[in-house]
Every structure is written in structure tokens, then in C-alpha cells.
Structure 1
Amino acid sequence: MNELGRALRAWRERTDPATAGLARTTPGRTPGLRREELAVAAGISVEYVVRLEQGRMATPSAQVCLSLARALQLTDDERAHLMRLAGHPVVHRRVPQLIPHSVHRILERLDAQPLSVFDATWNLLHWNRLFAAAFGDPEQIPTERRNLLLMQFGNDHDRSRIRLADQAAFETSLVADLRSASGRYPDDPELAALLARLNTLPRFADLWSSGSVAEHRSGRKTVLHPEVGEIELDSDTLTTDGAHLHIVIYTPRPHTDARNKLDLLATLGTQRFSTPSP
């Protein structure tokens, strides 16, 4: 079974026959759609579905992929992932890690907020002084560990914590975003190595097996700062076209004292991280 086959099977097994417009007269032995039901809904043969899932089929046409996407009720992100797995779009070999000058100019205008920039696989590439002052200086973390998923699932956290009620949604969103990147950059050896490391972590492996594909867009965090106490923050993720960089901007949560604490940290951060004048 190849990656396309695994994705199709995961999507099939999660699809509710009732919402797909298929009525069953007998209980299903397995969750989701049977192969026969998917074949009917997509207008293809059962044998074709079997060969696709087992990785024994040549690349399916774009038309077949779209029919499968409709039958499986895939999201826009998942449909794009299916097309990439089937080999239709042009894919890049390596995950870009260069931050363009145009993005740096945008970051300068957002410097009043803690912010960070990650590549498509959530490796930390850039951060500002307020981010370091709030979350801790990433320079203290070895470069190979500066990956958000490794820190989250390896329990190697920064000063921040996520409410238990928000943690499941946050982790599911991150894993779904990484799967999208894996379809976009299927030949990147560093991404393959990252996935091998992450799949040794049970919580990640369980989420990865679900086959979800999406983009991570927002979250909530509480920074436990040793000097100013708890800082309640919302995070929003902006994703650039092309390089698919993630720009994460943290803003004070409304009706909290987070803005005052960030302003205080901006002063402390300036004192700690300033460099002598030439």
C-alpha cells in the first residue's frame, strides 16, 4: 500500500454512509463506507478501488480523483492533497526555508507583537525579540529541536501551555497541516526523517493515521512567564504563497492584562537583547 492508498482508505473509513446519501439495510462490519459503496458513489468499479488502495494501480486520472473527492466529501485542502498524491500538480522537491525580503518588511511592521516564522514543516526559522522575551530564547534550543511538532508531541515545551480543552484541536490541526506539506514535498529527505521521528511518538502516530489534511490557522496559548506571570494570547497564522511559510502572530487576548505585560516585556527585552551602538 502506498501513500495514496493509505489516504483513500483512511478517508473511506471515516465517511458516514448516511451523510454520503447511501442507505444501509444491514450494519456495516467496518466503519465508514465499504469499497462497494465508494465505487458506486464515485462511478468506478470495485476492482479499481481495491487496486488504488493496495497501490497496484497506475496514477488515476484527475477526473477520477475529483469523483473520489466528491464521494468521500473531502475538504478543499484534502482534495488538493489527493491530487498531489496522484501526481497531477507540479510539486517541489525540498521545503523552502528562505524568508523573502518582502516578508521581512512585513515582519518589521508587526514588531509590536510576539511573532515567529516557520517553514512548511514547522521548523522555526525566525522570531523577534518580543517572542524571545515572552516564550524564552530559541537560541537556547539546538537547531534540530526547533520544530513545533517535536516540541509539542515530545513534551519539550517552551514557557507556554495550552488549555486541555484546546489541546486536542491544536494538535489535530498541526498534524493535518503537516500531512498537507508531506503531499506538497513528497521527495524531501528532511521531511521524511522528521516524520520517522514523530511517528515514534504515540500521540502523533495516532493522529497521523487519521489521514486528515488541513491548514493550521489559529490557536490560544497561555505563557507562564517567570517575571510577569501568566500572559493570555491568541495566535493567528498567515501562510505565504509559494514558499508556504507560516507567520505566527500572537496578540493579547481581550479583557486580560496581556497587553500591559507584553509592553513591560518589550522594555525588559530591549534592555536584555540590545547591542552596543557602533
Structure 2
Amino acid sequence: MSKRDLGDFLRTRREARTPAAAGLPAGPRRRTPGLRREEVAVLAGVSVNYYERLEQARGPHPSPQVLDALVVALGLSATEREHLATLAEHAPAHSGPPEEPPPAVLRLLDRLGTVPAYVLNARHDVLAWNPAAAALLVDFAALPAPERNILRLAMRGGPLRCEPSGDGFTRQAASELRQASARYPADRRLGELVRDFAAHSPEFAAHWRDQELGVGEAVPKRLRHPRLGLVELEIQELRVPGHDHRVVLLTAEPGSASAAKLDALRPGPRLRAVP
């Protein structure tokens, strides 16, 4: 991860921090959104020159002590604090997202029965799925492995039957891919995914520039199934402890027409995992 990424993140967080939130008077003739560089420097207890060099990608990577001071000055969340540490090279970076889910996760998928579920890595690759997910969404096994990516399928409007849920979908995707890019800076496929999504969606490109993190609200999905018709889905995600995987479960409001349609699914007998 480059110093430019660190500087850009500090700048966007500074511009998003209001003087009132930092306990400072707004004052007249303020020409910059958020805080001035001088104000951040004072709040963090560093020199103005040092902070300016950080934003301009000319300074050294800050120490853990300086990071802690910047977290307080900028009012960063726990997620943003972790991301800042990764950018400053104080967190381990890995070559790429994991490609194979743990056996215990595969057993969980198998036990979910008629509840559609699949496993994602940080790149949003679909690594494993149960028969109910294939029956509801798409026959993942019929797709080439590089195409088994939820974001690519949503972007291209191909065989995936779910419709992207407006701005909430792109906002959440930008937040999650920004954090993944910090954890896996050398991953070529992740970089290609971000570039393709930004070229396809101006909304995604704008959220990517904003560098907003920790966007975790559940984004509902609407699905038009060739046999079931319109199905409105609720999304639940289970993070796998100690692994950069998550299990995504698709359910519907109990007693609703969509829940009845899910019950009518007749998936095949086999669990499928990425080869």
C-alpha cells in the first residue's frame, strides 16, 4: 500500500470531520470542508509540517503512537483505525484473499438444508454454495471460476437473478473493497475488480473516492426467479472467526409471500464448493 493511499485517507477523514465534532469553533471565512491541516496537527500533537507531509505522501509511515493520536484527532471508528494501521504498514498484509473455505464452514452449509447460503472471501468470490443458493440465484457450477464473483455478476446483469439494491449496494461494496484492498495490496484480481466496478458505476466510483468505511447495514435484495416470480430477500452474514470468509444466508420475512416461495424451492442434493 502506497504513501499516497495513506495521505488520501487522512485527507478524506479530515475533510469529513467538522470543527464542532472536534470541539473547535467553526470561525468565520472557513475555506476548507472539515478541519484544516493545522487543526489536525494541533489535536494530534504533531507539527504542521509533519502532518502536511503525511497527506502529501512525502513523510515517513507514522508510528503507532502517532496513529493513536490521529485516530483521536480525526474521530476515527474502530474499523477506520484498523484500516489506518494497515495503510501505515502496522498490520500484516497478505498476498491475496483466501480461496478455500474451512471444512467446518462447508459442513455448516450442508446442514442449512433449504436455507440458501454461500461463502464469500474478501474479493466477493463465491467459494462454496449449497443447492438452495444455486436453485435460487444461479447455477454457480456452470460458471467459469473467475466469473463466480457476486459483484461482477451484479455489474454485468448476467445470469444472477438478484437485482442490485440501488445506492446502498454500491456504498457497501465500496466500503468492503476499500478495506480488502488495504489488507491485500498486491492482489491483482482485486484491483481489476475495483477498476471495472468504478468504470461501470459512477456511484461506486464516488463512494470509492469518499473512502467511507464500516458501512455494514444489511442491504435487502429483490430477485426475479423464472419459476417463483418476485422474491424479496433479507441478508444475514456470519463472519468466520480466524478466517477472512463470511457465510451469506438469504431469508424472507416469516409469513410473507416471499417466504412461501422460498419454501417451494426444490434444490438438488449436493453441496458445491470451488474446485
- How high is the TM-score relative to the length of structure 2? 0.89
Aligned to 2:112: 110
Given the alignment of the two structures, is residue 239 of structure 1 paired with residue 239 of structure 2, yes or no? yes
1:75 is matched with which residue: 63, 68, 77?
77
* CA drift at 1:169: 2.3
* Aligned partner letter, 1:143: A
Distance 1:10 1:152 in 2: 28
* Aligned partner letter, 1:270: G
Provide the alpha-carbon RMSD of the alignment: 2.2
Aligned to 2:268: 270
- Contact 1:217-1:237 within 8 A present in 2 as well: no
- Contact 1:180-1:215 within 8 A present in 2 as well: no
* CA drift at 1:199: 3.0
Aligned to 1:211: 211
Distance 1:157 1:21 in 2: 51
Given the alignment of the two structures, is residue 182 of structure 1 paired with residue 184 of structure 2, yes or no? no
- Contact 1:35-1:50 within 8 A present in 2 as well: yes
Distance 1:157 1:30 in 2: 46
- Contact 1:95-1:120 within 8 A present in 2 as well: yes
Equivalent position SS for 1:79: helix
CA, structure 1 residues 23+154, in 2 after alignment: closer, same or farther (shift >3 Å)? farther
Given the alignment of the two structures, is residue 40 of structure 1 paired with residue 42 of structure 2, yes or no? yes
Equivalent position SS for 1:219: coil
Aligned to 1:86: 88
* CA drift at 1:62: 0.6
User: Unmatched 5+ residue regions in structure 2?
Assistant: none
* CA drift at 1:153: 4.1
Equivalent position SS for 2:210: coil
* CA drift at 1:59: 1.2
In the comparison of the two structures, how many residue pairs are matched? 268
Aligned to 1:261: 261
- Contact 2:167-2:203 within 8 A present in 1 as well: no
* Aligned partner letter, 1:170: F
Distance 1:32 1:43 in 2: 18
- How high is the TM-score relative to the length of structure 1? 0.88
Identical pairs, percent: 37
Q: Deviations over 1:18-64 (max 9, x none)?
A: 11111122132121111111112211111111100111111100111
Equivalent position SS for 2:194: helix
Q: Write the mapping of 1:26-175 to structure 2, written as runs, cut at 5 A.
A: 26-156=28-158, 158-162=160-164, 167-175=166-174
- Contact 1:153-1:203 within 8 A present in 2 as well: no
Distance 1:157 1:65 in 2: 45
* Aligned partner letter, 2:205: A
Distance 2:43 2:199 in 1: 36
Equivalent position SS for 1:199: helix
Give runs of ≥4 in structure 1 deviating > 6 Å.
none
Distance 1:215 1:106 in 2: 26
